[in-house]
Amino acid sequence: MLRVLVSVSGLPEKITVAHSSGYSSLDRAAEQTMRHWRFTPGTRDGKAVPMWVEVPIRFRLNNGN
């Protein structure tokens, strides 16, 4: 689970690991992938505002088949 601060432009401004996968390489891959995402910014009183969101990330690992 990642916590992402979404900017008023919808870009991920800060990314932290809220709940680790247990593998640092998977956590880093999730963070790097999240940097390419674009969000609809949060609003307050009709204006875009920075907002923290939690994003669940699921990995599917296979044995190379």
Model pLDDT for residues 25-63, shown as the tens digit of each residue: 999 999 999 999 999 999 999 999 999 999 999 888 888
Tell me, rounded to whole angstroms, the distance of Cα 11 from its chain centroid. Answer: 10
| pLDDT of the residue at 41 | 95
Domain ranges of the chain: 2-55
Q: Are 2 and 16 in contact (CB under 8 A)?
A: yes
Please state the pTM of the whole predicted model. Answer: 0.85
* pLDDT at residue 65 greater than cutoff 70: no
